[in-house]
Amino acid sequence: MTSVLVAICGFSCVILSFTDSYKDKNGTICYGFATVHGFWIIDGSATLPQELSKKYKLRFIDFAHAFMSLLVFGAVVLFDRNTVNCFFPAPSAEALEVLTALPVGVGVFCSMLFATFPTTRNGIGFPVPGNK
């Protein structure tokens, strides 16, 4: 049961890395997904001009951010002792060392990459500064 919940939450971290938002001329915020063809608005309430939609296309950095988000989520899961006890009830001394050091290492590594290669996406729940 715990593994299913962790998998669903990890999947949501990955999927949310591909979301973006758009503020139309009326000030309405539209949320959607970046696709290979442009921007797909979830509720279909607005349409974007083709040239503006192209600015929202998927890029390599989106996949890198999705992977790093999954790594950070995994580090948070490994940092929680209750969750670790579900998966590893009696870890060996070596496994305990890895479970202690790995979340910190992943956090530092991904933080450096997030700072070096920031995303321009304003996903669901993030403030929208205006049109891009």
What is the tens place of the pLDDT at every residue in 6-36?
999 999 999 999 998 887 777 778 888 888 9
User: Would you list the domain boundaries of the chain?
Assistant: 59-122
> What does pTM read for this prediction?
0.82
Return the amino acid letter for 122: N
Range scoring the smallest mean pLDDT among 5-14, 48-57, 81-90: 48-57
Q: What is the DSSP string of 73-93?
A: HHHHHHH-HHHHHHH-SS--H
